[in-house]
């Protein structure tokens, strides 16, 4: 029996949101956003539509007893949400932030206790996986409190859940996101790419009018800029048996560039002014200042009349009158630092500027070295110029859909459109149409819930399949060379765009399979090489193919330990985005299965 509710969850870098539809109401199932109870001040719980993705680890005796109590939990020493963010302004060394960015960073120990990053030794640490689990567990408990009550069948763990991830998340980051959800008790889980969810939300908001807003041949640029990341996708409008269909044709890289960078830009500007006036900030104060600049940025980028906004943080030292430090951020400063700094005018042939790297670096997130979103967009459109079957120097989208908290700002939207239209004019293409409507703060969660309805035949599905081409590493047969491992060839096993539930026909090539002992299976992927056919062997690959973390496995055959067995390959992409690789012996008498999570359903 199908679950009563379909639930969309946006596990965001800055805010998390839950949207849902009650399918028992028939075809008229309306989407709603869950008001999430959370601590907003010590001892005060209120319900808000956004759960800030922050976690604060309180020290012993730091807060009064019961200050962090929730209706479903008492005596906790950690808090998620609004008060976690507020308290983190005052004590930044105990605040876990950007857990989603850490979860996507292959260079970090994503399951190790590393957050708060840079926190003092006495502060207990959580892994990015644990922090994500806490956010999702809070959403589960809030749902069960507000929606389920005593109805066991309405508990969140019994519903169909659609959890969003960036389209650019690699398979490991997707798998860790799924693990966080499962650890939080959310089992009936499907992952959905955020740009697709944003487009689903636009479709849902407009009803059938979306078919008049776009036409066959249109290419929609989804520009998703949130608190910590920038993601670009292209979705083509095509025709199938007289009906408009949507197909995702290109996905960009996962760029650690977003609202957090803008907060820092403002904080550095304030710090320089204070230093010129004789006040120096230490690292603790600066972290608090960066968090304070977030609210100032949002006010000044809004359409209000504020010409300046004050920021304040706790002070240290004798020079700070009254124990607090105050400064002003002017609207003109925002225009210079954020509009010109992050969305500069540039040519369509420009690329992100690589800085000369220092030989010894502090460990941390691999932030984009160039803060210019417009140059990253130019690179994306050039890389994927073949995705739209246009013979131009760059892909030329016909419409743009904005998503993410950053893109709520009209000044930033206008600048990006202005720059992109300049490129399109030079290419002889029409100017971008802006797809209006939708709610940037709640769109991804609402779109995920709409997708759940679409899977039940109550909405429009976007085609797309796998976002990348995937390869299996084949070790080259060659004589041993001291100090050198044999090179790896890339065997294409899943071309880009393969739909879930599809069998993949591999040519009848034979390879040697190591059985009976631990072996390393190497996987690779590319979001650029969309023309590689199944069975193609790439002898030499460079930056257009990236290696993924290997999979260690032992394929058993008792009595044949360490044997190299001639096998053929068979492949299938399951409904939940898992690649099943079957290795079949030459005589067909033995079969071994290997599973690799490409992505969850999209």
| pLDDT class of 348 with cuts at 50, 70, 90 | very high
**Are residues 325 and 279 in contact, defined by beta-carbon separation less than 8 angstroms?**
yes
Residue 321 has pLDDT above 50, yes or no: no
pLDDT tens across 171-189, in order? 778 889 999 999 999 988 9
| Mean residue pLDDT across the chain | 85
Burial 13-32 (b: 16+ CB within 10 A, else e): bbbbbbbbbbbeeeeebebe
In whole angstroms, what is the distance from residue 523 CA to residue 466 CA? 15
End-to-end CA distance of the chain: 23
Q: CA-based angle 35:602:246, to the nearest 5?
A: 105
Of 468 and 575, the one with more pLDDT: 468
Q: Between residues 498 and 28, which one has the greater pLDDT?
A: 498
Residue 424 has pLDDT above 50, yes or no: yes
In the predicted structure, residue 391 carries a pLDDT above the cut 50: yes
Report pLDDT for 34.
98
Rg of the chain over all Cα atoms, to the nearest angstrom: 25
* Class of residue 304 by CB neighbours under 10 A (exposed 0-12, middle 13-18, buried 19+): exposed
How far apart, in whole angstroms, are the C-alpha atoms of residue 30 and residue 450? Answer: 9
Region 45-63: mean pLDDT is: 95
Reading the block at residue 378, the tokens are 């130019």
Cis status, amide bond into 526, omega within 30 of 0: no
Instruction: Tell me the per-residue pLDDT of 69-105, one tens digit each, with 9 for 90 and over.
Output: 999 999 999 999 999 998 987 788 899 988 998 888 8
Residues sharing a CB contact under 8 Å with residue 159, sequence separation 6 or more, in sequence order? 3, 4, 5, 6, 7, 20, 188
Q: What is the pLDDT of residues 16-42, one digit of tens each?
A: 999 999 998 766 678 999 999 999 999
Dist. CA 126–CA 133, nearest whole Å: 10
The most confident of the ranges 142-156, 246-260, 585-599 is 142-156
Q: What is the pLDDT of residue 599?
A: 44
Q: Cα–Cα distance between 528 and 534 in angstroms, integer?
A: 16
Q: Looking at 120-129, 327-336, 355-364, 390-399, which range is the least confident one?
A: 355-364
The pair of three-digit structure tokens given for residue 505, joined into one six-digit string: 């026909």
**Residue 244 scores a pLDDT above 70:** yes
Sign of CA dihedral 294, 299, 303, 307: negative
Q: How confident is the model at residue 358 (pLDDT cuts 50, 70, 90)?
A: low
- One-character DSSP codes across 371-404: --HHHHHHHHHHHTGGGGT--SSS---SEEEEES
Q: Return the SS3 of 286.
A: helix
- Asked if the model's pLDDT at residue 356 lies above 70, the reply is no
pLDDT-derived band at 196 (thresholds 50, 70, 90) equals confident
């Amino acid at each position: 029996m199908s679950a009563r509710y379909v639930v969309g969850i946006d596990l965001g870098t800055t805010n998390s949101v839950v949207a849902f539809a009650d399918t028992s109401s028939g075809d008229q199932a309306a989407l709603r956003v869950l008001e999430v109870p959370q601590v907003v001040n010590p001892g005060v719980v209120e319900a808000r539509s956004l759960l800030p993705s922050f976690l604060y680890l309180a020290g012993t005796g730091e807060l009064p007893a019961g200050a962090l109590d929730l209706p479903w939990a008492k005596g906790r020493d950690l808090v998620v949400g609004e008060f976690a963010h507020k308290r983190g302004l005052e004590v930044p060394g105990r605040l876990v932030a950007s857990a989603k960015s850490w979860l996507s960073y292959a260079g970090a120990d994503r399951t190790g206790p590393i957050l708060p990053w840079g926190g003092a030794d006495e502060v207990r640490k959580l892994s990015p996986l644990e922090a994500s689990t806490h956010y999702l567990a809070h959403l589960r408990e809030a749902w069960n409190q507000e929606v389920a009550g005593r109805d066991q069948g309405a508990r969140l763990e019994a519903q169909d859940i659609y959890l969003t991830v960036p389209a650019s998340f690699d398979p490991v980051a997707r798998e860790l996101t799924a693990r966080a959800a499962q650890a939080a008790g959310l089992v009936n889980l499907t992952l959905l790419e955020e740009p697709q969810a944003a487009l689903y939300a636009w479709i849902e908001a407009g009803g059938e009018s979306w078919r008049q807003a776009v036409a066959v041949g249109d290419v929609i640029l989804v520009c998703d800029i949130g608190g910590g990341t920038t993601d670009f996708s292209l979705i083509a409008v095509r025709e199938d048996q007289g009906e408009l269909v949507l197909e995702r044709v290109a996905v960009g890289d996962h760029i650690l560039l977003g609202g957090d960078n803008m907060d820092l830009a403002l904080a550095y500007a304030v710090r320089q002014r204070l230093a010129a006036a004789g006040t120096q900030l230490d690292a603790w104060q600066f972290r608090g200042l960066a968090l304070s600049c977030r609210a100032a940025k949002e006010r000044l980028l809004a359409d209000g009349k504020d010409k300046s906004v004050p920021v304040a943080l706790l002070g240290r030292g004798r020079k700070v009158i009254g124990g607090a430090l105050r400064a002003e951020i002017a609207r003109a400063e925002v225009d210079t630092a954020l509009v010109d700094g992050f969305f500069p005018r540039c040519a369509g042939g420009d690329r992100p500027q690589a800085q000369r790297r220092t030989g010894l670096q502090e460990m941390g997130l691999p932030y984009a070295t160039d803060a210019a979103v417009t140059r990253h967009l130019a690179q994306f459109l050039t890389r994927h110029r073949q995705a739209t079957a246009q013979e131009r120097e760059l892909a030329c989208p016909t419409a743009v859909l904005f998503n993410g908290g950053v893109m709520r700002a009209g000044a930033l939207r206008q600048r990006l459109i202005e720059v992109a239209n300049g490129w399109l004019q030079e290419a002889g293409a029409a100017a971008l149409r802006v797809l209006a409507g939708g709610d940037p703060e709640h769109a991804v969660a609402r779109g995920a819930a709409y997708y759940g309805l679409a899977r039940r035949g109550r909405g429009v599905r976007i085609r797309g399949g796998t976002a990348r081409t995937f390869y299996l590493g084949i070790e080259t047969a060659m004589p041993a060379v001291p100090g050198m491992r044999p090179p790896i060839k890339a065997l294409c096993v899943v071309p880009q765009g393969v739909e879930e539930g599809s069998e993949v026909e591999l040519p009848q090539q034979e390879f040697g399979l190591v059985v009976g002992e631990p072996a390393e299976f190497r996987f690779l992927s590319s979001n650029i090489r969309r023309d590689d056919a199944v069975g193609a062997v790439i002898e030499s690959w460079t930056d257009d193919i990236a290696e993924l973390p290997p999979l260690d496995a032992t394929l058993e055959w008792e009595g044949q330990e360490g044997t190299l067995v001639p096998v053929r390959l068979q492949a299938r992409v399951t409904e939940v985005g898992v690649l099943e690789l079957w290795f079949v012996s030459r005589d067909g008498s033995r079969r071994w299965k290997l599973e690799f999570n490409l992505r969850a359903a999209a």
